[in-house]
Amino acid sequence: MGCLKGLKTAVVGLLMGAVVVSTGVQAFEAAPAGGLPTIPVTELIRQGAITYRLIHQGGPFAHEKDGVVFVNRERLLPLKTRGYYHEYTVATPGARDRGARRIVCGGQLRTPDTCYYTDDHYASFRKIVP
């Protein structure tokens, strides 16, 4: 009976947006209804905040590929026409390459409609909210 109760608790926890781990329950940021999880711009890592500010200033950017079209192959971002999204590198101290962190913005280059942060090379995104 106790095992069944534990299983029920684990299932309920997973359904409510928690991950059951051996040390207990670890909550993660749930996605708002119909959207991606969010991150306030004030909570971005320092390098992300710098990149976000540079995007709105039009640069200058450290990497040649900053500002190139992001195709959204993973289809994790809202579907838009090709050319809507552009990607920018978020510096990773100590990395020998561009690293895995990016900001992807949609809309006009200096005045994007929306921006998203990923720290795992497009495996997941959080919408940046002002």
Tens digit of each residue's pLDDT (9 = 90 or more) over 94-117? 999 999 999 999 999 999 999 999
> What single-letter amino acid sits at 94?
G
Residues designated catalytic = 87, 121
Q: From the centroid of its chain, how far is CA 30?
A: 13
Among 43, 6, 12, CA closest to 117: 43
pLDDT tens for each residue of 7-64: 344 333 333 333 333 333 333 345 555 589 999 999 999 999 999 999 999 999 999 9
The predicted model scores a pTM of 0.75
Q: Could you tell me which of 121, 123, 72, 78 has the C-alpha nearest to residue 97?
A: 121
